Amino acid sequence: MIKISLYRFFIAVTLCFTLGLASIQDQERKSNQSAYTLYADYTLKNDLYYQKDIAVYHICKPGKTIENSDVITIWVHGYADTHRQTYKYIKEYRIKKRKIRTNLNYIISSDCVVTFDFADSGKIELVFKHKDTSMAQDNEIHRLNEVITHVKELINSTADMIVLAGMSRGASTIITTMAQHDHPEVKALILESPFGSIEDVISKTLASMIFGRYNKNGIRPIDVVGKLPKDLAILIVASHEDQRVPVESTISLYDRLKGSDHNHTHLQLLDHGKHSKLLASDDGSRYQNVMHAFNKFYNLPHDSVLAEKGAADFLNSQSTEKELRNSI
């Protein structure tokens, strides 16, 4: 009787292990079909401004390339970071042949993402060349414009769309670049914690001392944001807990856009989230969900379930200036 019970127990354990392993393998198979991997990298050699090459990275879902994708997202990283920041904003990814990693929250759904390093970024994190930083001025504008041009040369259909997404310095660079250069292929902007002016973050004198290419009389996002094309769909996201870029600076950009008849501009203010860590905060799911609701509304790649969860926040994303000031 004991032998029979042990045999049945052994069979039950073996069956559970087999089914569990099959389930894991099935999940891995599904992940392999959707996980982003580095598809290709390019070196743009015509950067006379920097006198150095630009490394550009294409990160795509399996079977996808820039040439066969309808929507391409260009990610623009923040200060003191690199192109690797992109991986924090996509659902699943694999770096080289390592294990697939999954983010709890994500905002990028396009089949391919193009990213790059600004001139101040080192090959490894925490190594930055401050002398090459202009904080959303000429240095960064030139490099982003080169990357947009690179993507435009690869897409082969007028139906293809480009989305520019970035955070902090990257988001502000998107504004200054699009205000100065004509890129009708760009249909939407995703701006996380952009600053209206670097003086909202640190003084002009200190900025001039730290950032070698910063011009205290140079271009500022707040001065040119009204020049953005009025048909652009724009989502701005900021947090009340951000201690690096004051939420008031971000709101000033939204106010300027709304005041210049940019009627497709939306703002999502979060209660929680430290600088560059909004998606990982307690409000990370709100950020994610309103992003998908925004994408659904403007016919961009999205998750329908997440878009439904973010519908209410999206409906309230065009608050008046008075309502926003009262929320601070």
Domain with residue 46: its CATH number is 3.40.50.1820
The 3-state secondary structure of 188-254 reads EEEEECCCCCHHHCCCHHHHHHHCCCCCCCCCCHHHHHHHCCCCCEEEEEEECCCCCCCHHHHHHHH
pTM: 0.86
307 and 186 part of one domain: yes
11 and 85 part of one domain: no
> pLDDT of 3-50, one tens digit each?
456 555 555 545 554 444 444 344 444 445 568 887 666 676 554 444
42 and 27 part of one domain: no
Cβ contacts of 73 within 8 Å, gap of 6 or more:
108, 110, 112, 113, 114, 162, 163, 164, 165
18 and 51 part of one domain: no
Cβ contacts of 284 within 8 Å, gap of 6 or more:
104, 105, 273, 278
| Per-residue model confidence (pLDDT) at position 59 | 92
Could you say which residues of the chain have pLDDT below 70? 1-34, 39-42, 44-52, 122-127, 158-159, 320-328
205 and 71 part of one domain: yes
Residue 275's Cα: distance from chain center in Å? 14
| Per-residue model confidence (pLDDT) at position 120 | 87
65 and 30 part of one domain: no
| Per-residue model confidence (pLDDT) at position 189 | 98
12 and 153 part of one domain: no
Tell me the CA distances in angstroms from 77 to 119, 227, 292, one per residue in order.
Answer: 12, 23, 21
Identity at 142, one-letter amino acid code: H
20 and 49 part of one domain: no
| Per-residue model confidence (pLDDT) at position 115 | 94
Instruction: Note down the domain range covering 30.
Output: 1-34
| Per-residue model confidence (pLDDT) at position 253 | 98
Q: Reduced to 3 states, what is the DSSP secondary structure of residue 69?
A: coil
12 and 47 part of one domain: no
d(CA 123, CA 82): 8
117 and 266 part of one domain: yes
122 and 198 part of one domain: yes
16 and 62 part of one domain: no
Alpha helices in the chain (DSSP H): 2-34, 138-154, 169-180, 204-210, 221-224, 247-259, 284-297, 304-309, 311-315, 321-327
Tell me if 222 sits within 8 A of 196, measured CB to CB. Answer: yes
Q: How many domains does the chain have?
A: 2
